[in-house]
Structure 1
């Protein structure tokens, strides 16, 4: 399938993955920085354009891959769907309930698909947890806690932004894992001057308690970290992944059971690449996808709800 990519930030990485994997035919990249476009053309052999309309309306393209700021996602998703293209969209899929509704209406009206790069579902450690729950590998899941921590690296991640811009992958995973469990409480605090925050949201089903914690105000020496703890009837899973501050990643998944502690060896895969490959296959074959717009909208609507609750707490 032939792909038009909008943006040269994450878009450049997407172009590189598509090129390396060999799963795409033509690759056309839109951007406004001609030096970046020239570099992509030289390194990857992709086509480039400084006209977003030209790329979206190119009759030879099947998919538009949107890697623009999230506030622009709705506008160009609707434009691409209207032009008869499928859409692959970066996260967060949008930032408002109004944009979410408009994107869903356009997907339905134009009968093309929107898939969203909620790549956490292709992270081996999170896949392991999901499958353990579905298969009751360690008995019934009782409680799960997910965490994402970062020093101030990503701009303003205060209470007005942290749920949509940092917490979104964990919210997507919890919605997937627990099939849309209700939010029962949220707590947050922030350094308003620095635009950084700490938020914890709690979800409950009749059988399971879940928490998601997102922190953007860690000290600069603290590594970017994700992880989880999952309590089952017969075991506990512990996972962490953190930058080692030297360009590498320190990661491990352990299961604590009746036989002691065991490390689960995870496949060394790139979840971004798996997410892109999966999306292309679903576009091509018409299969259902865990990256569906419905999944993404469930997560973003949860994030927007949490944002409103936090705003009410602050004021």
Structure 2
């Protein structure tokens, strides 16, 4: 399968997954010749600074890891060129653009995937399964957190960036297990131009969700996150950490009237699992679980939080 990978920044996370496979042929596209050649060379890929090739050559899939403002534009171009599309999250910067891509995908006969990698994290899948199967009764309260130091050079974690860059995955979890909230309230604090925190309280009929994200943490903190899901008959708690060495750890524990028990989780790399799913769908071996239509509620909720936190209005 031939893949056009657009972007040499976060595109390298996808490139690392492709490089470990033997069933893909990848060309990495970027603007700067030296930077693109260097990034592609790390993974043994060909490099190109001509983005038109992605739409003109015989690529099966266009993988878009470009800045958010260009996601919808390039997804639509790829569909017009009769290519399958993988778009880094979020799908688009506005609901207008997101719906346009969703509608174009439905008309095209081609598949579009949004990199909702958090759906493939085993701890999150344990939560999804518990809600679907009613393992611990009805979900009444969900608290999510994501607190991090500035672990990624050049990546902005300012107040204006946090909703779409750091909260979108949490909003996807919320909408998958509780639906669309009846009310959204937001509180914020900022430290200078690069660090901030947002607390969002989401009210549902008979349930409550809270999401806390922060980039105020010192380097020694690393990154820590997880969730506490309180059901009518028990609690499911997930805790994950990643130090400045980049080594992650995590666990999920179930608490019931009978005591506490650690939930066994399969080992998984969420990015590899996401790309495995994309390629399986393109081979006709699976149904698309990350199609554009499935992310619209989460994107709308994320944009609502963004507007409350930053006063932004969809353009």
Say whether the 8 Å CA contact 1:62–1:85 is kept in structure 2: yes
Distance 1:133 1:47 in 2: 44
Question: Any residues of structure 2 matched to 1:47-126 within 5 Å, and which?
Answer: 47-58=46-57, 60-126=58-124
Partners of 1:139 and 1:301 lie apart in 2 by 28
Runs of at least 5 residues in structure 2 that lack an aligned partner in the other structure: none
Q: Tell me whether 1:225 sits opposite 2:219 in the alignment.
A: no
CA distance in 1, matches of 2:188, 2:162: 11
| Residues 248-287 of structure 1: pairs in structure 2 closer than 5 A | 248-285=247-284, 287=286
1:134-153, aligned counterparts within 5 Å? 134-153=132-151
- Offset of residue 153 of structure 1: 4.5
Q: What is aligned with 2:163?
A: 163
**Cα distance in 1 for residues equivalent to 2:40 and 2:193:** 38
Q: TM-score, with normalisation over the residues of structure 1? A: 0.90
State the partner residue of 2:210.
211
- Aligned equivalent of 1:293: 292
* Superposed displacement of residue 42, structure 1: 4.4
Alignment partners' CA distance in 1, 2:232 and 2:305: 30
Describe the superposition over 1:73-93 as per-residue Cα deviations: whole angstroms up to 9, x where unpaired: 111111111000011011122
SS at match of 1:242: strand
**Deviation string, structure 1 residues 72-114 (Cα, Å, up to 9, x no partner):** 1111111111000011011122212332233223323433222
Q: Show CA shifts across 1:129-171 (max 9, x none).
A: 1101111112222211111111245644344321111101111
What is the CA-CA distance between 1:276 and the residue it aligns to?
A: 0.7
Contact 2:55 2:78 in 1 (8 A): yes
Change beyond 3 A, Cα 1:98–1:241: same
Q: State the SS of the aligned residue for 1:221.
A: helix
Q: 2:221 is paired with a residue of what secondary structure?
A: coil
**Mapped partners of 2:48, 2:110: distance in 1:** 24
Q: Which moved more, 1:120-129 or 1:180-189?
A: 180-189
CA RMSD of aligned residues (A): 2.2
Q: Cα offset for 1:266?
A: 2.1
**1:227, distance to aligned residue in structure 2 (A):** 0.2
2:184–2:203 contact (8 Å) kept in structure 1: no
Q: Which moved more, 1:200-209 or 1:294-303?
A: 200-209
SS at match of 1:21: coil
Residues 281/34 of structure 1: CA separation in 2 closer, same or farther (3 Å cut): same
Distance of 2:214 and 2:40 partners within structure 1: 38
TM-score (norm 2): 0.90
Q: Which runs of 5+ in 1 are unaligned?
A: none
- How many residues get paired? 310
Verify the 8 A CA contact 1:49 1:55 in the aligned structure 2: no
- Identify the residue that residue 196 of structure 2 maps to in structure 1: 197
Q: 2:9, 2:65 within 8 Å by CA — same for their partners in 1? A: yes
